[in-house]
């Protein structure tokens, strides 16, 4: 498919996991994709897509740094033209319950998961306006609807992100910018965040997670990527402020 041909996209947290799958899906749909991450591994991920014939570029971006955002955006525009797709995917979690987690750990999660996306949205708006419109997709989580006692700050950050997404969507619609802003809410996907280093899906902990999913499997990064590509495309031209779940039926239960 080439429905994103001529578009420039930035994907944060694109070195691995869901971000890498999102970058692949956008590239396969024709977009020029800037893969942004703090991990040097992002260079290899971008190079693999480039060797498959896609227009990609890797940049160092820590989403907690406004200066990094400015540099990443300048590089993207100079390389591929005005940015009309932003995917705020970079995220972290700390698995500690309500009594154990510290205020500094909570601040750290908010700084990446919530304020990181806020910085990104503010940074790209001028470029998107010059492009004549665009699409922002914020990667939230099913934890906006399913509360996990082991990750209270993570869930709070994602619920706030979904709320912020709607505010941004409303603002852009009211201003007539032609910029749509939506959130995707992944269920459990087999990524380093969930699987750690090398845990197999046969591991008892992984089996227990899978057993609780109605479709009895974890999602694959490219599956979420294709949902994001749809939201970025004109096929979703009347969608803004929406929460889109891709979770194997997890939030039904």
Ligand X SMILES: NC(=O)c1ccc[n+]([C@@H]2O[C@H](COP(=O)([O-])OP(=O)(O)OC[C@H]3O[C@@H](n4cnc5c(N)ncnc54)[C@H](O)[C@@H]3O)[C@@H](O)[C@H]2O)c1
Q: Which residues are catalytic?
A: 154
Distance CA 249, CA 169 (A): 26
- CA dihedral in degrees (62, 119, 225, 107; nearest 10)? 70
Query: Site mask, ligand X, residues 134-153, x = CB under 6 A?
Result: -----x-x------------
Q: Is 248 in the site for ligand X (CB under 6 A)?
A: no
Among 15, 83, 124, 172, binds ligand X (CB under 6 A): 15
Query: What DSSP letter does each residue of 46-106 carry, written as one string?
Result: HHHHHHTT--EEEEE--TT-HHHHHHHHHHHHHHHSSEEEEEE---------TTT--HHHH
The nearer residue to ligand X, 41 or 79, going by C-beta atoms, is: 41
Query: From CA 61, how far away is CA 36, in angstroms rounded?
Result: 5
- Binding flags for ligand X, 225-244, as an x/- string (CB under 6 A): --------------------
Query: In the complex, what is the shortest distance from the CB of residue 225 to ligand X, in angstroms, rounded to a whole number?
Result: 11
Q: How far apart are CA 199 and CA 180, in angstroms?
A: 37
49 binds ligand X (CB under 6 A): no
Residues 54-113 that bind ligand X (CB under 6 A): 61-64, 89-92, 112
Helix axes 17-28, 221-232, angle to 10 degrees: 50
164 binds ligand X (CB under 6 A): no
Identify which of residues 112 and 206 has a Cβ nearer to ligand X in the complex.
112
The residue ranges that bind ligand X (CB under 6 A) are 12-13, 15-19, 37-39, 61-64, 89-92, 112, 116, 139, 141, 186, 188-189, 191-194
């Amino acid at each position: 498919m080439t429905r994103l041909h001529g578009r420039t996209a930035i994907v944060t947290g694109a070195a691995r996991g869901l971000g890498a799958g999102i970058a692949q899906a956008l590239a396969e749909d024709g977009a020029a994709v800037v893969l942004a991450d703090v991990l040097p591994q992002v260079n290899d991920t971008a190079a693999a897509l480039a060797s498959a014939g896609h227009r990609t570029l890797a940049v160092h971006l820590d989403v907690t740094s406004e200066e990094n955002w400015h540099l990443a955006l300048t590089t993207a525009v100079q390389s591929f033209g005005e940015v009309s797709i932003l995917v705020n995917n970079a995220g972290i979690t700390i698995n500690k319950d309500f009594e154990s987690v510290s205020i500094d750990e909570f601040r750290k999660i908010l700084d990446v998961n919530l304020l990181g996306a806020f910085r990104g949205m503010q940074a790209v708006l001028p470029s998107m306006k010059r492009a004549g419109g665009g699409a922002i997709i914020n990667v939230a989580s099913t934890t906006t609807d399913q509360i996990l006692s082991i990750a209270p700050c993570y869930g709070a950050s994602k619920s706030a992100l979904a709320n912020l997404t709607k505010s941004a969507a409303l603002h852009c619609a009211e201003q007539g910018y032609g910029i749509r802003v939506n959130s995707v809410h992944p269920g459990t996907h087999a990524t380093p965040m969930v699987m750690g280093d090398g845990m197999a899906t046969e591991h008892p902990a992984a089996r227990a997670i899978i057993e609780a999913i109605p479709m009895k499997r974890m999602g694959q990064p490219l599956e979420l990527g294709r949902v994001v590509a749809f939201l970025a495309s004109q096929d979703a031209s009347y969608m803004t402020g929406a929460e889109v779940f891709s979770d194997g039926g997890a939030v039904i239960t």
